[in-house]
Copies of this chain bind each other. A is one copy, B any other.
């Protein structure tokens, strides 16, 4: 710790990470865990790279102690491996794990959809429609943006992901089972999100297919056809999973 240049550890919020010191000074570890996880998701900490405690400490402007606690949380979440006396390594899934995860997720989202058919409100159905609209917009942006404009492309990615998340989250919300939702999130977050996008965005036809599947699900929910909605959702997720797994194999296998 001798080399910290700006060793002004005074309570002045120097590093600017906390704009307004709104930090309740107890949520620091949880905040760190969230940030590190986000940096893993975006690929800033690539799969297979080492997470050095001191590097993270200087990066986020804290000491190693809270970093270590945050790493424990991430370990429990399955995002990293902790090798004693060696360090933490960002854990990437295998193709098999991708398939397994999507199989589990398909079942859970199927259940969520089945439940949602009973409880979904008109307002939530409208939100699903809204999500579809955003989804279609994002697809259009991809088509036109092509590779010419890289910035609009990542913007489209962001919009697409938001629309997709919105669709699934509204349904999970409508299902009214918090534990179910939390479980789906746990399964989902075990591997970087960019995977789904990277897979589907390669071929706009896949995106459109995805969109149509969403429509079909919403339509079934609108008719309160629980079983059908469930089946549609399961095959929807499974299909996406198979595509991701294949892409993953081409990439790393």
Interface residues of A (CB under 8 A from B): 24-27, 29, 65, 68-70, 72-73, 75-77, 83-85, 97, 100-101, 103-104, 107-108, 111, 177-180, 183, 186-187
Contacts and interface: CB of A to CB of B under 8 A. Distances in A.
Nearest to A103: B177
B84 A177 contact: no
Copies in the complex: 2
Nearest to A101: B179
Contacts of A108: 104, 107-108
A164 to B, nearest CB: 21
5 contacts: A29-B72, A68-B69, A104-B111, A104-B179, A104-B180
A180 B103 contact: yes
A97 B187 contact: no
Nearest to A111: B107
B27 A84 contact: yes
A213 B103 CA distance: 26
Contact of A26 (B84, B107, B111): B84
A26 B87 CA distance: 11
